Structure 1
Amino acid sequence: MGMTNFNDLSTNLADAVQTVSSSIVTVRGGRPISGTVIGAGLVLTVAHVLHADDVTVVTADGQELPATVAGRDPATDLALLKVPGLNAPALAAGADVRVGELLLAVGRPEHGVQATLGFMERAASGRGPDRGWVPSGAAPFRGVSGGALVDARGGLVGVLNAGVSRGDLLAVPADRALKVAGLLDSTGRVPRGFLGLSTQPVHFPGEPRPEAAPEPDRAADERQDGRNRGPRGERPHRDHGREHGGPRGRGGWGGPGWGGPGWGGRGREGWRGGRLGLTVVQVEADSPAAQAGVRVGDILLALDGDVIRHPRELLDRIRDRAGETVTLHVLRGGEEQDVSVPVGER
């Protein structure tokens, strides 16, 4: 890269930060954090730092405005603030960001706007301890949580959170964050989907077990009652081995080394030939699963064409789908079949 191109890149990034910074505010509701303006009088920030429902928002020009928490979503750790009199421009979701694109993490802690440079390392993870979060590739700094992850064009990629994974700066994807904000604005809560069944991983007979694969010790209850929730707003499952999901590393549930492509699913860890599924150990009476005919002893192989390898994946995939209908591909009595299940609401 020539010096001229480098200077142009530097100038463009600085311009992007300057443009975005007017949409980033300081939120005082505990220790100072950042907030992202997403609409007229509406600010998204992280929930875990807010210790009261009445907070103060400080705009880019130093104006202090009273704000009220309209709602919190434990699963995404987002809180929506309503700020009467706020005239800051709102950030809009950007276009699809490609892996390798430069990103900017922009926050406004107590003493003005700050930014760090990152890049799109990979798409939002569909499995593992960081399922559903966008890695920013940027270095976290104090007070960045609640700020905006933006592309070089100033489009919103996600809402930042430095408290999800130690040492990493992750973001709730913009489309999910804005959906949560809309629900919090209209109803004050985000309904959570449930099927009403409990499952545990099962290895199919006759297949070699992966090296060092841990043995699940008890069933994971899919039911969510709001108690004892973890940092992402979910009740920890007793068979996870780790707080945010199954054991990491080679040979753990969902780790590498599981074999070839699966039926209709994405990724290399398929179930064809019998590797791993979820056996149903309990079906709650009158639940959506019970009404759809799911039975104890069924083995869940896929949901809407995507393989399922751990109870946490099942939870993650139906959490935001209350009111929708999903298709479970199950093995029952040696035969495979599809079962359509309307996702309930809790």
Structure 2
Amino acid sequence: MTPSPDPSSSSSLADAVERVAPAVLNVSTRRATGTGLAWRDGVVVTSARLVWRTREVSLLAADGEPLPAEMAGVDPSTDLAVLRVTGATALPAARVASDAPHPRVGDAVFAVARDPSGLLHASFGRLGAVGGAWRTWQGGAVDQLLRLDGGLYPGMEGAPVANAAGEVLGVGSSAFSRHHGVVVPASTVERVVDELLAHGRVAQGYLGIAAQPAQARLGEERVEGLLLTSVAEDGPAARAGLLVGDIIVRAGDEPATALDRLRARLQVGSSLALTVVRGGQSLTLALEVGERPEPPERGERRGWHGGGCRP
């Protein structure tokens, strides 16, 4: 994020930072350090990339006291992780922004982080893009696009991003763009926190394919669909008989012309009929939607709008 160009607002921004600061914690592992946010009493949200496959996590509160914590769950698809504070210490929860007014392009925002020494850091900038619901390259459902006009500084993974009133818009992440920080909005954080506290994971539908938009010839007609460029061995699609080169043209009773629409139909454990074009002929194959397996490595950085070609 870039420095605020409006020095006349420095006093009010300092007050806004102070409103957020009590809920900001340092999160450190053996490999990295970042930031966490007290989302509820005893519940801390941070970046999944920071704590992914890490057994030992330490928290440092605003008063400089270390806090014992245990992992409640990780969702790499939204770059969110939840930690439970196991001691009796009460943490002031974040003040989350209300639905109105809605964020706008150009709104002043800031991220707040805490380093391993307890020192508070802030970075000021603007919202560079605001849009509707979208999906990450790992298939995570995000309720609203909130893109910063720059990246996040080191140590700000998992930092709260707030508006000029000191209300938290969401959690900062650099997992979805090479050049810009993205804010996982508060509504998405709330939903993921609920699922991680209840189940330890966010279940996502999985077919085991990579696909891209394509056209297929069916008799004298050209139809739009999704060309399978790879099929995971022993995944749901492979077990149902789908092959590389097949073009999916329908998923159930809907056209399969966009990956996002296909993903939206993937409910773990449900049956799904896929109509494919193979060698100019149409056939329908039934499969049972699986659950996406955990990635073998920490997620690499991808474009927020691009990946996600692997339902």
On whether the aligned pair clears a TM of 0.5, the verdict is yes
Please give the alpha-carbon distance, in whole angstroms, between the structure 1 residues aligned to 2:109 and 2:14.
Answer: 12
Using CA pairs under 8 Å that are at least 6 residues apart, name the structure with larger relative contact order, 1 or 2.
2
Deviation at 1:141, TM superposition (A): 1.3
Please give the alpha-carbon distance, in whole angstroms, between the structure 1 residues aligned to 2:19 and 2:272.
Answer: 41
Aligned counterpart, 1:269: none
Normalised by the length of structure 1, the TM-score is: 0.60
The AA in structure 1 aligned to 2:63 is D
Please give the alpha-carbon distance, in whole angstroms, between the structure 1 residues aligned to 2:97 and 2:251.
Answer: 31
2:103 counterpart SS class: coil
2:192 counterpart SS class: helix
CA 1:146–1:325 in 2, change beyond 3 Å: closer, same or farther?
farther
Aligned counterpart, 2:33: 32
Aligned counterpart, 1:74: 76
Contact 1:105–1:149 under 8 Å retained in 2: yes
Q: Aligned match of 2:147 in 118, 125, 135? A: 135
Contact 2:73–2:81 under 8 Å retained in 1: yes
CA 1:182–1:330 in 2, change beyond 3 Å: closer, same or farther?
same
Deviations 1:220-250 (A, max 9, x none): xxxxxxxxxxxxxxxxxxxxxxxxxxxxxxx
Contact 1:54–1:67 under 8 Å retained in 2: no
Aligned counterpart, 1:43: 44
Deviation at 1:327, TM superposition (A): 11
2:68 counterpart SS class: strand
| CA-based RMSD | 4.5
The AA in structure 1 aligned to 2:115 is P
Kindly tell me the number of residue pairs found equivalent between the two proteins: 269
Deviation at 1:181, TM superposition (A): 1.5
The AA in structure 1 aligned to 2:58 is T
- Residue 277 in 1 paired to residue 225 in 2? yes
Deviation at 1:76, TM superposition (A): 2.2
Deviations 1:268-326 (A, max 9, x none): xxxxx9684215798999969x99xx99866436899897445xx4675457x547899
Structure 1 residue runs of 5 or longer lacking an equivalent are 1-5, 207-272, 335-340
Aligned counterpart, 1:150: 162
Deviation at 1:107, TM superposition (A): 1.7
The AA in structure 2 aligned to 1:52 is T
Quick check: which one's strand share is greater?
A: 2
- Residue 179 in 1 paired to residue 186 in 2? no
Contact 2:150–2:181 under 8 Å retained in 1: yes
Contact 1:301–1:331 under 8 Å retained in 2: no
Contact 2:251–2:272 under 8 Å retained in 1: no
1:90 counterpart SS class: coil
CA 1:203–1:108 in 2, change beyond 3 Å: closer, same or farther?
same
Please give the alpha-carbon distance, in whole angstroms, between the structure 1 residues aligned to 2:46 and 2:192.
Answer: 12
Percent identity, please.
29
Deviations 1:183-217 (A, max 9, x none): 111111211123577755322559xxxxxxxxxxx
